[in-house]
Structure 1
């Protein structure tokens, strides 16, 4: 197979010929994008296989080189933008260290009250529901309070508890266990995930080098699980 045929085959461009040539060309069928290497190979093949009696016009060559330069510039710019986006979306160990002493909202069922005894959290509701309830139990599993939130739409729902039991007595300092249940109009269960606030006591590095937070009652939590910082 000639260099020109090889170049065409690498780009998924078929030419009539032997079965081997057809197989090589079909191996890249479906390829729709050209990178810098493809562009350079195609231009080189064009020069090597040009008609010596009708060589490529200089104007055309300059235009092709300009396209190659533009392609290289766009590729480099895309790489730079991706690096910037990764940096903005990522959390470095130094960033996470500043979270120590602050509270974060993360999926979990163990929660501690505020200094005034009240407690707040969020529910992540997977679909619209006609009835949503939050149950709070003590460390021994004894039910302390059920908070009815009524009908709710899909998405994040905040809830509050004043820290008193059904009998009106203070529930204490916790920790408390949060359970949530939701049903739709047909009586079917709707997926619901409780999110609780917890203080960050320390930050360590995971096996992959990403920061991991230590939260009372929840243990080791990756920063990717944090929904909000208090």
Structure 2
């Protein structure tokens, strides 16, 4: 048995580090191996001849140091892959600039005084109307679409007679032969820029808000 077993508790401190750079991680792994070998040689030179080191335990500790080095190398590889994926994701996201994102909600996306929105009907409706609601809860305007098929429908509202700040949103009233048809409503917002945060594609929208891609229902 080791008369003074090597203390490896500090050798793995760099394994879980999330802030180490790739080059630093590689250097840490080499330095860890170097420290281990120096300690091992020192202990061999100073071991008790009457109580020499146990070969099995020495082999175990050498396996441990190789495991630490292997994890360091794996962490470096994974960080490199994550960085490459983020860069590729951002490059692909550039193609979304200028397109319109549909975000679940009942607000308009305004281009000047033109309000943009959309809704989805689960079934055909013979009568579809959209009420524009003011901040005070009153109906500012009503758009009559008549009959519409099932599916997604985009529309614009001319709000030139009203200030966008006075508009709370809209509601859809749809029915088919007197039976209500429940619509799903969306805000339409143009994508103006893209970025990446914590591995997720971030979209900057025309109203100044920023949403991750998973918050977007679809693009048109």
Q: TM-score, normalised by structure 1?
A: 0.46
Q: TM-score, normalised by structure 2?
A: 0.48
